[in-house]
Amino acid sequence: MSDIPGALDAIPLLGILFQLFGYVLANLQYVSNTTVAVAVPITLAALCGVMCERSGVVNIGLEGIMLTAAFVGWFVAAEAAGAMGTGTPLPYFGITMPLVIGLVAALVAGMAVSLLHAWLSISLRIDQIISGTIINIGAAGITGYLYSLISSQSLVGAGQFQKLQVPPGVVDIPVVGWLINAIFDQGPIGLVTIVIVVVLQIMLFRSRWGLRTRASGEHPRAAETVGIDVVWLRYRNVVASGALAALGGVWLSMEQTGNFNAGMTQGRGFIGLAAMIVGRWTPLGAFGAALLFASVTGLSQSLTISHPTGDLGSLINGVPGEFWEALPYIITIVVLAGLIGRSIAPAADGQPYERESAS
């Protein structure tokens, strides 16, 4: 590109942008389903964060909850399959009994870890960031320990949930085909996630529970004076939201792959937190932000499948592969730093609530 005169510098850049636009448009239908899929665990983590922080509890232990659930789900499913056999899968999603048992165990485990966080941060009023960090360190340590014990036995996993196959005819429908494919070419957890996003958005802003949750996140003392039990409400929210993060973990070890790996969450819990902030503590916004972060992964995957040609192709050839892997994290930082001033947290977020004593 150095052979282009300086005065025309802007023109190749513009051309490359056009090429990129055309490229994305042409490949949209192939990567849109991947993008939504990659966004699923990030969204679930972000939803867990929304539920916690809207009620006033900061939860950076999302990563640990996801990792614990990913391990427990995979391990329990594999043990169950070893004990009872996999049986014939149901016609949809390849659901088998061991997979369901693993899923339930993972949700319980995620809620148990959340209960620990709730107890530390709500009852003991320990700094919530420290509490979350302990959960992250503990989850990495304990799952790592157990996994390296198990890996000497070559345990066979119980398989994974299957995607809903969208008929090829539907995908080829002009304009909306790729959209239908993006939304419905998912496994059960992916589909459920999209439903949860909508339901939670409505619940948070249109239900009694939502109003109470937001009240105790903005002004717990005022909430308490009108009869809301802030401590109990925070407990319920934190524990219930653990199931959401757990679902994100299960997605990794039972829907995307059928395997567990030490540290397989790879910061998705934290990207989820960033998505929550960028999405201004709303479920729909968080989903949108998660899609944005995931689209980078979708794009880099598409680049390996069909390599663009021309100036764009030669530009991308010059970029090392590691850059694409690091890009989702870089984008997260950039968006977070750029938008945070306009994104305001619940007022009592992270502050332990202490009832006024009777004396």
Partner 1 sequence: MSTPGRPASSRHLLGVWIRSLLWTFAESVVAILLAVVLGGIGIFLFSGLLPNHSAFDLGLPIAAYGALWSGALGYPNGVGSTLSYATPLILAGLGVGLGFKAGLFNIGGRGQFLMGAIGAMAVVTLFGQSLPGLATIVLALAVAAIFGGFAGFIPGVLKATSGAHEVVTTIMLNYVFVFATYWAISGPLRLPHSPQPITVDVGTRASALGTINILGWNLLGRDAHWGVLLAVLGIPLLWFLLYRTTLGFEIRAAGANSDAARYAGMKTRQLVVLTMSMAGALCGLAGGTTLLGVVHQIAPGYDTTIGFDAITVALLGRSNPIGIALAGLLLGGMRAGAQSMQISPGVPGELVDALQAVILLFLVINLLRRWRAMRHVDAPTVAPAEPYGLGAVPAEVSE
In the complex, the residues that contact partner 1 under the rule CB under 8 A are 53, 58, 60, 120, 124-131, 133-142, 144-146, 148-150, 152-153, 262, 266-267, 270-271, 273-274, 277, 320, 322-323, 325-326, 329-330, 332-333, 336-338, 340-341, 343-345, 349-351
Measured in whole angstroms, the distance separating CA 213 from the mean position of its chain's CA atoms is 22
The answer to whether 69 touches 221, Cβ cutoff 8 Å, is no
Calculate the CA 80 to chain-centre distance.
27
Tell me the closest approach of the beta carbon of residue 71 to partner 1, in angstroms.
12
**C-beta closer to partner 1: residue 6 or 320:** 320
- Minimum Å gap between C-beta 349 and partner 1 is 6
Nearer to partner 1, 37 or 139 (CB): 139
3-class secondary structure, 300: helix
Q: Which residues does 2 contact at the CB level (< 8 Å), separation at least 6?
A: none
Question: By C-alpha distance, which of 210, 231, 209 is closest to 220?
Answer: 231
Q: Which is nearer to partner 1, 169 or 341 (CB)?
A: 341
* Closest distance to partner 1 from the beta carbon of 183 (Å): 28
Instruction: Select 32 or 128, whichever has its Cβ closest to partner 1.
Output: 128
User: Cβ of residue 221: shortest distance to partner 1, in angstroms?
Assistant: 18
Minimum CB separation of residue 267 from partner 1 in Å reads 5
Residue 106 CB partners (closer than 8 Å, separation 6+): 69, 70, 72, 73, 76, 246, 247, 249, 250, 254
Query: Where is 30: in which H helix or E strand?
Result: helix 10-54
Minimum CB–partner distance for residue 338 and partner 1 (Å): 7
Q: Which is nearer to partner 1, 28 or 146 (CB)?
A: 146
The residue among 189 and 204 lying less far from partner 1, judged by its C-beta, is 204
Q: Name the amino acid, one letter, at 338.
A: G
Dihedral sign of CA atoms 218, 224, 229, 235 in order: positive
